[in-house]
Structure 1
Amino acid sequence: MADARMNRQVLLVSRPQSEASVDNFRLVETPLPPLEDGQVRVRNHFLSLDPYMRGRMNDTKSYAPPQPLDEVMIGGTAGEVIESRNPAFKAGDRVVGMFGWQEYGTSDGSGLRVVDTTHVPLSAYLGAAGMPGVTAWYGLNGIIEPKAGETVVVSAASGAVGSVVGQLAKAAGCRAVGIAGGEEKCRYVVETLGFDACVDYKAGRLYDDLKAAVPDGVDGYFENVGGEVLDAVFARMNAFGRIAVCGMISGYDGKPLPMKAPALILSQRLKVQGFIVSEHMDVWPRALKELGEGIASGKLKYRESIAQGIENAPQAFLGLLRGKNFGKQLVKLV
């Protein structure tokens, strides 16, 4: 059935020397081999683009091995089973997996999860009802441990992770304050997502605007950005505040990350904890259940930026690193 199909794939062919560029990637076409016993073939409908991918492009020590050169770039995918010789899957199943930057995925079924798209759109399983949502859920509940009446600040507040953090913090009875880039994103964070305030870091008054937005200081901070944003929030942290360090996107693309904060960790007795969500698989079922129910009921809101076609994945990814996306960045493959 699938022998004649060609699979378009994006490979990582070189490592960035500083900023990543489209030249680090190459689009290729490869024929799909016949399916073997125990295998399942998926037509990917959506590819997830995420900041962690920039770190995998480097050949440096990290929490995960680097992306091998001349292989399909890593990435989460959501699609439909089109052929199966595996009893656990049938044609028509909607599935989420890690097939990477390619139009078709073939595997023995390991790492594939069948999802219900009756009330939750397929694309959401790569965002608010997927890894980014669980990242938000764990960082907030597992590290910040919000209490009603506290103030929680979230950087990259309009993004796939930050938008969920703030909504969950509000549901826990907290004052939620976002930090985002530009008036449009800040308006969305307050008016659509329901945050209490949002600071536009591009306005040039980061510390003063943050101070005005958090008159009683900050009890919990969900960090996605690093750099001057982290310094500004550190200076407003209350004693015994908790900081969940999820990402440092401002330093991912070859830029240095200045940080003046360490002295405040001691003076304010802060808890600062980095985390990798894939190391906390025990919480995923509970988190995914709560997130899915929130989306299905309309209480948990999200936004997507969607690029069209696998050939546009590199450019969309570079835009993500520069903050050009609004919400979860996806590539539509069909």
Structure 2
Amino acid sequence: MTQTTRIVLANRPKGRPQPTDFRTETAELPELQDGQVLLETLYLSLDPYMRGRMSAAKSYADPVEIGAVMVGGTVARVAQSRNADWNEGDIVACGNGWQTHAISSGAGLRRVDPDVAPPSTALHVLGMTGFTAWAGLGNIGKPAKGETVAVAAASGPVGSMVGQIAKLRGARAVGIAGGAEKCAYLVNELGFDAAVDHRAEDFPQRLAEACPDGIDVYFENVGGPVWDAVLPLLNLYARVPVCGIVAHYNDHGETTGPDRLPGTMGAILSRSLTLRGFIMSEFMEAQMGDFLTEASAWVAEGKLHWREDMVDGLDAAPEAFIGMLEGKNFGKLIVKVADL
């Protein structure tokens, strides 16, 4: 018998999640049946969408039930196998969630080749967040050569890929991030053409200066005041893939302040803007293979770069997750659950 340690949802948060909204448990897993594999989690991805899954509000996916394991993408090692397609020691991308071990039928597992890139990259540049950037930009943003692509949360795993892919497509990339260090990283290490600190008091003016020809594609990850500064700069026929609105994920109760909807709708009408929300899963079945082929080649050629914010131990996940929603991470936030 194998024992698993898991973190479950203890309470539905009201506003900012608290450590008490999570609970750590241990449980015995049953013996493997024919066709099953035992997976040992190596790396756990922490992502903003998990905040929505903690809520009971209607959404694109079912909420995590109270007492259920928190959802999450993982990289795992096959510890035991009674499935002819998988051998002990194989490294796979899967969805174990916040737990050290899980039993799988083998369905939905994706083989990870450590010789192509470090296995943890299957959680970002060669995984969900990389695909999210690639699919949203390609299917909705459709940047042309010479156009300006702006992206919020640009130092994060999705935003950093958006900017790099935009450059590879021949567009101009402008990143929006929090703090001078993150902005310098975007320009000096990722090759963005410009980066703007959204914490600056004169942020709208700085963004306008960084986009002298306006914005043709804006990849939305944040919402809030960042969107307010972007909207006046959107060009005629600009496209806005809406991937996330992390500035609002901890909102609770009635919102206050002026009603900006009429102004937004007026801009959509007068400038023929396209705003299109998307969930990456809608493109996955048809396009994941193409993404992995192209992105793996870019990685091999040194054209894609990334940064990981790695924390040690499953018990560190709640605090790291809470901090991520407040922008405290720098790069793709990953929990190292076990040694490779």
TM beyond 0.5: yes
Q: Is 1:72 matched up with 2:69?
A: yes
Residues in 2 aligned to 1:25 and 1:13: alpha-carbon distance in whole angstroms: 5
Alignment of 1:161-176 (within 5 A): 161-176=158-173
Alignment of 1:1-334 (within 5 A): 3=1, 5-254=2-251, 256=255, 259=260, 260-281=263-284, 282-334=286-338
* Deviation for aligned residue 1:257: 8.8
Residues in 2 aligned to 1:20 and 1:40: alpha-carbon distance in whole angstroms: 34
CA offsets per residue over residues 6-65 of structure 1, 9 Å max, x none? Answer: 211000011011211111100111123211111101111000001000001000011111
- Cα RMSD after superposing both structures: 1.2
With 65-74 and 27-36 compared, the bigger mean Cα shift is at 27-36
| Aligned residue type for 1:318 | I
The question of whether the paired residues in 2 share the 8 Å contact of 1:226 and 1:257 is answered with no
Residues in 1 aligned to 2:266 and 2:56: alpha-carbon distance in whole angstroms: 31
Residues in 2 aligned to 1:270 and 1:234: alpha-carbon distance in whole angstroms: 10
* Deviation for aligned residue 1:272: 0.5
The question of whether the paired residues in 2 share the 8 Å contact of 1:251 and 1:257 is answered with no
Residues in 2 aligned to 1:142 and 1:303: alpha-carbon distance in whole angstroms: 25
Residues in 2 aligned to 1:299 and 1:130: alpha-carbon distance in whole angstroms: 16
Residues in 1 aligned to 2:269 and 2:250: alpha-carbon distance in whole angstroms: 30
CA offsets per residue over residues 99-156 of structure 1, 9 Å max, x none? Answer: 1000112111111111111021100000110000000001111101010010000100
| Aligned residue type for 1:83 | Q
* Deviation for aligned residue 1:211: 0.4
- Residue identity over aligned pairs, in percent, reads 48
Residues in 1 aligned to 2:38 and 2:227: alpha-carbon distance in whole angstroms: 44
Residues in 2 aligned to 1:298 and 1:41: alpha-carbon distance in whole angstroms: 35
* Deviation for aligned residue 1:290: 1.2
SS at match of 1:269: coil
Residues in 2 aligned to 1:42 and 1:298: alpha-carbon distance in whole angstroms: 31
The question of whether the paired residues in 2 share the 8 Å contact of 1:10 and 1:101 is answered with yes
| Aligned residue type for 1:149 | G
User: 4+ residue runs of structure 1 moved beyond 4 angstroms?
Assistant: 255-260
SS at match of 2:323: helix
SS at match of 1:261: helix
The question of whether the paired residues in 1 share the 8 Å contact of 2:45 and 2:74 is answered with yes
* Deviation for aligned residue 1:262: 2.5
Residues in 1 aligned to 2:309 and 2:15: alpha-carbon distance in whole angstroms: 26
Residues in 1 aligned to 2:103 and 2:111: alpha-carbon distance in whole angstroms: 15
* Deviation for aligned residue 1:291: 1.4
With 178-187 and 21-30 compared, the bigger mean Cα shift is at 21-30
The question of whether the paired residues in 1 share the 8 Å contact of 2:220 and 2:243 is answered with yes
Residues in 2 aligned to 1:178 and 1:328: alpha-carbon distance in whole angstroms: 16
Residues in 2 aligned to 1:82 and 1:59: alpha-carbon distance in whole angstroms: 34
Q: How many residues align?
A: 331
| Aligned residue type for 1:272 | L
